[in-house]
Structure 1
Amino acid sequence: MACRAHLYIHLIIEEVVMSNKQVSRGRRSSRKKRPSSKENFGKGRQLGYAVREALDDYYSRVSHYNTRATHKRRAVTFIHFCRRHGVADARDIDREFVLSFGQYVRQRIEGEYQWPDGTVDAQVSVAYAHNLISTMNVIMRAFRGDNALKISGKEVLGVCRKSVRTREIQADVVDTKDAVDRAMVEGFCLAAAVMMLARAWGMRVREAILADLDRMMREIKRTGEAAILEGCKGGRKSRDRTVRANEFRMEALRFAIEVRPKGSKNLLSESDTVKRFLLREINPCRLILKKAGVPSFQELRAGFAQDVYEEILEGPSPLKQPIRDQVMDRIARAEVSRQLGHNRISVASSYIGGTRHAA
């Protein structure tokens, strides 16, 4: 009897388990799976959101913060153009469409662009027009994974990017130190150190933030010069980019070491990131720079470039008077390019001016 009772209980339990399985199966089968959206190559239903997602995925979400942010700002123009033409899905964009975008940008170089409803888009510079084409190319490559829709800015715009500086540099040492003092008063000591490093050593903002200050000091004591290695744009890290120390450069380096977070080899604390540093320190100080007469952080690098050029020629840069020694001019431009981390002589013209010669 005990065996029968045990068998009976076992059968009841088995029936209950099977019944529960059937119920659960019924519930799962009653739920219809929402079909996955393929719009915008699976990046999202809204074009604007999809563009931002595509750029983040393309560059990775943990690096290239400035590059991604720049492309996202410029992407607004391309998204606006797409919406104006009723394009809501990036899969519908073909070569004819990207060429029409190029023509739209070209017309904005020549003057204001007026849409049929009377809305007017402002004129843009040649340089910014090329940037818009570049961003459009990056967006489509991020979506598609190829360069099938890439267009040439030079061909579609019909004009090359102008990169020769014509106005005098507004970043002398006195104005820079004035900006540093203002920043310190406002409590932005780390940003003040970035200003000093940018003006004295020709560093980009990211390079100044991430520079290994202790390494630089060791190299100066050993050789009298230091290499710019950390935070270089586009991975252009090279031991060839060395800058010889002088009194002003040592002042900037010592100041950065003095104000850096305790225990850090650079201007970042252990828990900080470059992105937070930019938002917290750099962005509020852009206005401080302008109040001191310096247009931007980039202008500080231009001031450094002019110093290098004038030290070699022992005379004024082309922005101040025509060139008299073409051989020395070329040597100076090559040195400016090397110390700025470009290694292309042509780039020097965007910092120190063109090659106009004396009569």
Structure 2
Amino acid sequence: MTTLADRWNIQPDHIWLRGRQPEHVVQEGEDGIVNVYGYPEASAVLTDPEAFSNDVDRLMEGDQALTGKEDRDGSLLGVDPPEHTRMRKLVGHAFTPSMITRLAPRIAELTRNLLDEAGGSDRLDLVESLTYPLPVIVICEILGVPTDDLSLFREWVDRMARSASGLFDGDEDVDIAAAQRRVPEMLDYLAELVADRRKSPRADLIGDLIHADVDGERVTDRQIVTFLKDLIVVGHATTSAVLGNAVLCLDAHPEVAARVRADRSLVPGVFEETLRYLAPGAMAARATTRDVEIGGLAVGPDRLVMNWLGACNRDPRQFDRPHEFDPARDPNPHLAFSRGIHFCLGAPLARIEGRIVLNELLDRYRELRVDPGEPPVFLPLPFVIGVTDLVVRTA
């Protein structure tokens, strides 16, 4: 059986994408890293923030650190309670599912506009025309960023992606922190935007964050800027990747695509099953804080633990027929949005965008077939599965 991963040579080292599981659900590598491939084992790690810290940078040296301490003030990434708890309450007060739900009509309008701009040919560059620009536009509209400035954000995100890619292409001149620090103008822009909102309040996410109050505590301008930067970079990358992955999954399973066209109630299931079957975030890292046991393996403190979510999402102990793509799978408790206190804050937004985009594509085009003459190009990052180029034939 030729799998989707074999067909397009997706991450050759990720054997679970090819219908196989690692020999052991928990393995200790020669480098001392503990790799977790099992669903219950990873779930236990992700839901125990006391034993497994989200601050993995403290185990890194020099340029291998993802961020500096100053870069994490206001971030939900790489931090632990109580800082994480406090910040999550503050930003969660403004970034609510009900607020995201109100965006649905506008997301549908933006999707239609982008597809109109792509033209009526039988060839669609899906990433260039839709899955790349849409998440950026949506996030920027949530923030109240002027439309004329949207191109700036795309340039900044591109620059960060190129910096990060250089790390794994053997570019010794690129350090991990540079992936974000090479865009100081974005941080300056966001700081000016926050300052402007303090002077002239508006009904947008920045205004909500400025006035967010939990137990009498407010968010500082610096914290708001850090949170917005993370939202733009991580929120955009994840949503863009999963939208492209969903189209790839449907292309690889034409019988499923036919079922979904005939029964649109399956569309939300397509999005969830894509998150399980071809999760954009392949790994979630943690650092042990004390002696622990993971799947029977004794692990000491200050050890890096890599939870391979793509493998966990295909663990036969949790999922029946794990290597089948089934949009009717219910329940589908995948780990693509993580688990526990670090569950993805932007999950409701990603889910609404996914449902809307898939329905709009199915409404507009009779076919969505990957052009064999123009195979998809995948991100060169080992921890992210998503396309940078995806051309589909629509008729």
Calculate the TM-score normalised by the size of structure 2: 0.22
Structure in which a larger fraction of residues adopt strand: 2
Structure 1 or 2, whichever has the larger Rg, is: 1
Calculate the TM-score normalised by the size of structure 1: 0.24
Structure in which a larger fraction of residues adopt helix: 1
Instruction: Say which structure, 1 or 2, has more relative contact order (CA 8 Å, 6+ apart).
Output: 2
